[in-house]
Amino acid sequence: METILLKNIHNPNSADISEYKNIGGYRSLEKALAMEPQEVIDEVKRAGLRGRGGAGFPVAMKWTFAAADPKFPKYLLCNADEGEPGTFKDRPILEKNPHILIEGMVISGHALKAEYGYIYLRGEYPAAKHILNKAIKQAYDNNLLGENILGKGITFHLAVHQGAGAYICGEETALIESLEGDKGQPRIKPPFPVNIGVFSKPTVVNNVETLSNLPYIIEAGGETYAKIGTPDCPGPKIFCVSGHIEKPGVYELPMGTTLKDIIYTHCGGIKGGKKLKAVIPGGISTPVLPPDKIDCHMDFVNMPKHGSMLGSGAVIVMDETVCLVKVCYRALRFFEHESCGKCTPCREGTGWLRAILERIEQGHGAEGDIDLLLSVAGNILGKTFCPLGDGAASVVQNFIKHFRPEFEEHIKAKKCTVNG
């Protein structure tokens, strides 16, 4: 398939505006600026674009809410806080193809009548910060950002706001708090950001990959775009594959490509020809799948039917040498570290789950610990302020659901039975 989002990234100068323009960059912006904002929204609606951050919310719907709010100025925030472990899909766009994002943001800004945009970039991407700042400067110099863009009377200012190491800021209201100079703790919803967002103004938060789809949607038209992928979830999707895989990396494939195809057709199968033991399909918060469940279409609609989620499309492949108790423990260490502390179940529960897993992993597990894990996870699930706690609980539940014997053996043998 011809790549849309990762087009030209193998060109060493792909981040430069002239290279981007050479391959037709910013022509969609010109086209979009000639359209009425509502026409842009309609085009996106025809495209059926869903948010690529993980939730898959229809983009046109979110935009419509924000556009309908009478308050100004409006803000467009790009969520570049790619923190879901296993995820590195946005990084190539940010580092190698920044202008597709900028162009996408200006188009979106026009559609929303938003005058200000920020790219909320995770602190762990220092290189991307410099690249984006340079690209933004080039865009300003070329009258593609700022006042009266391309002489069309449109204003859109853009700046990079760097996060500082907090996974929770990927949650849109936490991101907004963080942009406002506060702790990244999620807000009560409603009100939703589309009405009361950053600086109390209507705000749309879209993921890097989502926004980068805009130039193509405008260029090719929504209908053409919608032919890519599946009818429910059109468009290309960047999958990032890591772990025990022959050819790890980023792959731009149609939405709905099966997990099996990704692993075996595109990525060359399990590293060293070893046996597949487990796959996390969409980043660490998504339910782990055993090998017999990987023949599933990777999209927002189909994955839940297979007991998991598309998430960020971050595929982590684990072969037979991996101790899943340890992976589960490591995952909970992550959730404990990233819990913002606002709500009781997540703040106290993630640490407790980690503690139980830690003792099992270190050979001090006791009978009843698995039930205790499930009970504690159950006391978290559905009771937390935001989805972070749910993610932690469901990781434990799903590892136990699919790999309970391994946990039992670990407890019984008082040591790891996979790697001795």
Partner 1 sequence: MFNDASIKEIAEIRTKYPNSRAALLPALYVAQREFGWLSPEAYEAVADLLSVPKATARGVGTFYAMYKQKPMGRHLIQLCTNVSCMILGAEKLVDFLKNKYGIEPGGISPDGRFSLVIMECIGACGTAPAMLVNEDFHENLTEKNLEETLEKYR
Partner 2 sequence: MKIIAITINGKEIQLEKAVTVLEAARSAGIKIPTLCYHEQLERYGGCRLCLVEVEKMPRLQTACTLMVADGMVVRTETEQIADVRRGILEFLLINHPLDCPYCDKAGECDLQDLVEKYGPAKGRFKEKKRKVAESLADSAIVRNMERCIMCTRCVRMCEGKQGASAIAVIDRGGHSHVEPFSGGKFDCEYCGNCVSVCPVGAMMSRLHRHSYRPWQVKERHETVCPYCAVGCTVVAQVRDDVIMRVIPKLGSAVNNGMLCSRGRFGYEFVGSKDRLTTPLIKKNGKLIEATWEEAITLVAKKLSDIKVTFTSQAIAGISSLRCTNEDNYVFQKFMRAAVGTNNIDTTARTGFAGAQSFIENIFGQGATANIISGLANSDTVLVIGGDPTTINPILGLQIRACARRDGNVLTIGTIDGLRHFNPTKLLPKLQTEATLLEGIVTALREKKGLPGSNAALEAKINEISITADEVIDKTGVSGAELSAFVDLLATAATFSLVIGKDIVQSTGGSYKLLLLSAINYLANGRIYLLSEKANEQGALDMGCAPDILPGHRPVAYPEFRKKCENIWHVELSDKPGLNLFEMIETADKGSLKAVYVMGENPLCNIPDSGRVEAAFRKLDFLVVQDIFLTETAKLADVVLPALSWAEKEGTFTNMERRIQRVRKSVHREGMEDWKIIAEISKNMGYSMDYRGAEDVFHEAAKVSPLHRDLTYEDIENEDNIYPYKGEPLRDAKEEIQVDRSARSAATGTLYLKIEKPLFHSGTMSTKAPALLNIYPQSVARVSAETAQAFSLTEGDVVRVKTKAGSLALFIAIEKDGDSSSVKISNNFEGKNAFRLTDCILDPVTKAPCLDSIEIIIEKVTA
Q: How far is CA 39 from the centre of its chain?
A: 27
User: Exposed (0-12), middle (13-18) or buried (19+): which is 68, by Cβ within 10 Å?
Assistant: exposed
| Residue 227 partner contact from partner 2, partner 1, none using kind-dependent CB cut-offs of 5 to 8 Å | none
* Degrees to nearest 5, angle at CA 212 with 90 and 255: 75
- The β-bridge partners of 280 are 316
Binds 123: which of partner 2, partner 1, none (CB < 5-8 Å by kind): partner 1
Out of 137, 337, 404, 412, name the contact with partner 1 by CB under 8 A. Answer: 337
CA distance 144 to 110: 12
Smallest separation, CB 366 to partner 2 (Å): 8
* One-letter identity of residue 275: K
Gyration radius of the chain over CA positions? 22
The option from partner 1, partner 2, none interacting with 69 (CB < 5 to 8 A, set by class) reads none
**Least distance (Å) between residue 181 CB and partner 2:** 13
Tell me the closest approach of the beta carbon of residue 124 to partner 2, in angstroms: 17
Nearest to 288 by CA among 311, 258, 270: 311
| Interface with partner 1 (CB under 8 A), residue from 50, 52, 62, 91 | 91
Within residues 177-236, the interface with partner 1 by CB under 8 A covers: 178-184, 199
**Stretch near partner 1 under the rule CB under 8 A, chosen from 83-91, 103-111, 213-221, 401-409:** 83-91
162 binds partner 1, rule: CB under 8 A: yes
**Phi (first) and psi of residue 215, to 5 degrees:** -55, -40
**Residue 47 vs 343, nearer CB to partner 1:** 343
As measured in angstroms, the least distance from the Cβ of 270 to partner 2 is 35
User: What is the rounded distance in angstroms from the CA atom of residue 257 to the CA atom of residue 235?
Assistant: 11
Which helix (H) or strand (E) covers residue 111, if one does?
helix 98-112
Contact residues for partner 1 (CB under 8 A)? 82-88, 90-91, 122-127, 159, 161-167, 178-184, 199, 240-244, 248-250, 280, 284, 314, 316, 318, 322, 326-327, 330-331, 334, 337-338, 340
